[in-house]
Amino acid sequence: MNFVFINPVSKNMYDEKELNRFISAEGFEIVECKTDWIKKVIDKYKQRVSSVNKTVMDMRCPSAVQLVKNSFPNLDVIYPPIEPILIHCAEEISRNYGDKGNIFITTPCKSLAVYGNALKLQNTVFVTWNDFARKLDCSLQKTILRKSPIPPGFFSPLKVKTKKVFNHKYSCHPLSLIKINFEQVCRRQFRDPWCLNIRKYRHLFYNSQAYPCFFQRNDLRLF
């Protein structure tokens, strides 16, 4: 039996009924998580932020985290061991279906696919949705997303100060120390179709808060 988890970003690009029929015809069963991992991940950040008096890094994007680490090796921040939401979903699905067949976890980017495959979950393969769809020769009509399926304000429940690494002029300036052209950063560091087409999809990135945030307590400054 072949199981597939379709990430929310990719799923929202298609008509749900057409996508389900196509996936079923290709011999896959679509599986979902039962746990509300969005809430659980937020709670993990809340617990971490409340327990320290230092700046905490948003760990949802592996490539973005690595970019900050490489750019600021001496940065005095905490990198909490909190995995991205999709990884939590994949681990649950692997526990529930790993002994029943092959599992394919589709990701919106290559970074998460690489991160997931390194975990070596039971009978589980992480693959970008683009690669998965290409292998199945998927020709379904795509819908241009006008807003992110991941709602903005992800960390609002924490009620703490945050700093984001982007601004409305599409430039990335981690910690305001240097300014880096956002598209150049994406091409050099992320090397992903979503990032390479940042002009086309920029409304998604800026609405979804997909890039790192820095959480601050007690008005602690980053620099």
Residues 184-223 pLDDT 10s: 444 444 444 444 333 333 333 333 334 444 444 333 333 2
Pairing type for strands 28-30 and 124-128 reads unpaired
Averaged pLDDT, 10-16: 90
pLDDT reading at 176 higher than 50 = no
- Specify the pLDDT at position 145: 66
Mean per-residue pLDDT over the chain, rounded: 75
Single pTM value for the model = 0.73
* Across 35-49, 53-67, 114-128, 156-170, least confident range: 156-170
Most confident of 41-50, 127-136, 186-195: 127-136
- Specify the pLDDT at position 86: 95
Please state, as a whole number, how many other Cβ atoms lie within 10 Å of the Cβ of residue 68. 22
pLDDT reading at 180 higher than 70 = no
164-189 burial, b at 16+ Cβ within 10 Å, e below that, comes to ebbeeeeebbbbeeeebebbebbeeb
Q: Which residue has the higher pLDDT, 54 or 134?
A: 134
